[in-house]
Amino acid sequence: MTSPGDVARRLARLHERIADAGGDPDAVRVVAVTKGFGPEVVTAALAVGVVDVGESYAQELRAKAEALTSAPREAAPRWHFVGRLQTNKVARLASLVEVWQSVDRVSLVRQVSAHTTSARMLVQVNVSGEPSKGGCPPDEAPALVAEARDRGLEVAGLMAVGRAGASEGARPGFRLLRELADQLGLAERSMGMSRDLEVAVQEGSTMVRVGEALFGPRPSRISRTRAGAGVGSNLGELRRT
């Protein structure tokens, strides 16, 4: 279980890690990535003052947003979409998502601009060259940024996922993202997750996206399916047990 007290303690530790890496904990924004956890961790994040909340799957984001509307509304999270995005999911997410972090192709720029005028976006760049990762090739980032600006979207910055494996291996990619953002005059550099945030902060991250460092180990996919990802499948649970 993840209690608000646990999250408060882990957030303090996270701020220490950012400071130890030479970052300013007041300046590096923390986006709490809640994928795989239940809606209660969103409430816990809000309770400790983390209002930026990220999700990777469209259905999970919608389910959590719905679960939270019935809860007392102190403050609503500012939803970031951080996962692989399909163009046909944009319409149903547009009323919820405030920051589109994973825009990596022209068709997505068009969809986002067709459904919203106020959202901010980041262009995701594949800085590691790993085919399994989302993001446009680095040399396509300028054209995507230009396309988005032409359509009146606010491009806040760039986003990248660090190379898998030892965190040090992510450094060249993070450095490249920083350079690209500077060249394009973009202020935000969303890079760094629980395992590689020190390297990201050293390379100039302005926004870290963290799940496990705030909420503990992510439940396995199997137990998540059992729990129905929190979308009203108690019946299924009963039948199985």
Ligand X SMILES: *Cc1c(COP(=O)(O)O)cnc(C)c1O
Which one of residues 56, 111, 113, 126 is an interface residue with ligand X (CB under 6 A)? 56
d(CA 174, CA 165) in angstroms, rounded, equals 14
Question: Does position 35 bind ligand X by CB under 6 A?
Answer: yes
Question: Does position 97 bind ligand X by CB under 6 A?
Answer: no
Nearest to ligand X of 15, 195 (CB atom): 195
**197 close to 30: Cβ distance less than 8 angstroms:** no
Q: What is the three-class DSSP state of 181? A: helix
Nearest to ligand X of 88, 132 (CB atom): 132
Q: What is the three-class DSSP state of 206? A: coil
Partners of residue 32 on adjacent β-strands: 53, 210
**Residue 221, CA distances (Å) to 36, 89, 100, 228, 230 in order:** 8, 22, 25, 10, 13
State which of positions 157-186 bind ligand X (CB under 6 A): 161
Stretch binding ligand X (CB under 6 A), from 17-25, 73-81, 103-111, 210-218: 210-218
Helices 39-47, 4-20: axis angle to 10 degrees equals: 60
Nearest to ligand X of 83, 138 (CB atom): 83
Which one of residues 34, 194, 205, 206 is an interface residue with ligand X (CB under 6 A)? 194
Nearest to ligand X of 59, 117 (CB atom): 59
Question: Does position 212 bind ligand X by CB under 6 A?
Answer: yes
How many CB atoms are located within 10 Å of the residue 41 CB?
23
Question: Which residues touch 128 (CB under 8 Å, ≥6 apart)?
Answer: 160, 161, 162, 163, 164, 170, 173
Question: Does position 33 bind ligand X by CB under 6 A?
Answer: yes
Looking at beta carbons, which residue is closest to ligand X?
211
Question: Does position 193 bind ligand X by CB under 6 A?
Answer: yes
Positions touching ligand X (CB under 6 A) are 33, 35, 56, 82-83, 161, 193-195, 209-213
